Structure 1
Amino acid sequence: MGEVRQLRQQRPTVEPLWREVLGAQLRRVRLHRHRTITTTADRAGISAQYLSEVERGRKDPSSEIVAAIAGALDSSLAEITDLTVRELRRESARAQAAQVLELRSTANARRPAPSSMQGPVALAA
């Protein structure tokens, strides 16, 4: 009779959203500069709640808002964008590497056992 194999569903490689990576970069820069969320928000002209949501990747801010936050952190829109793009590239490379490893492990699991391991074991007399 035929062999029944359980097919593993391939999980799609999910890249992080721009807003999530951007928010993490803004938070990283803010903490690196030892700034509070309240002080940074005040300097940017936005509410602390909104800045918190941006940093957590919940809001997708306009370029004007990102520039205001960057300015409040004594940075520039170009610098924040560059940091964000670099992190997106790192995340993409990690996701691709994980996918390759998963494909390899799936392929190895499907390979038959070596011929010496198949069938009954003969005992020496």
Structure 2
Amino acid sequence: MGDVLAFPSRPESRPAPEPHQAAEPLWREAVGRELREERRAAERTLADVAGRAGVSTQYLSEVERGLKEPSSEILGAVAGALGLRLVDLTSRVTRRLARIAGPVCLAA
């Protein structure tokens, strides 16, 4: 017969961070964290916010944990349910990522 070949290992979804640098979070993780912090600061439940946004509690939970990549319509609905405009949410997330990421080093 033929030779048995090993499957190549799966590439990482993100490159490993440098030892001195923390991994940059994904957009969905930063958005989820911002939504969760806003919801908790307002002392609102997942069920309350999900109901007002027109999404399931399970889905909102997954968005908050950074497991789902929500559409702009979903983000707008959830932000609105929390009393935020979409631009406010995206600005907060951008500032959060800028603080974490630091300067970009481009290899030549």
The TM-score, its normalising length taken from structure 2, stands at 0.74
Q: Which runs of 5+ in 2 are unaligned?
A: 1-15, 104-108
Distance 1:66 1:11, change over 3 A: closer
> Which structure would you say has the larger Rg?
1
Amino acid aligned to 1:42: G
1:1-125 equivalences in 2 (<5 Å): 11-12=17-18, 13=21, 14-93=23-102
CA distance in 1, matches of 2:25, 2:87: 20
Distance 1:84 1:11, change over 3 A: closer
Please give the per-residue CA displacement for 1:69-105, whole angstroms capped at 9, x wherever unaligned. Answer: 0010011101110110000001102xx6xxxxxxxxx
Q: Which runs of 5+ in 1 are unaligned?
A: 1-9, 97-125
- Bigger helix share: 1
Identity %: 49
Q: Secondary structure at the match of 2:24?
A: coil
C-alpha displacement of 1:11: 4.4
Amino acid aligned to 1:68: A
The TM-score, its normalising length taken from structure 1, stands at 0.64
CA distance in 2, matches of 1:85, 1:91: 10
Please give the per-residue CA displacement for 1:23-48, whole angstroms capped at 9, x wherever unaligned. Answer: 00000111111110000000000000
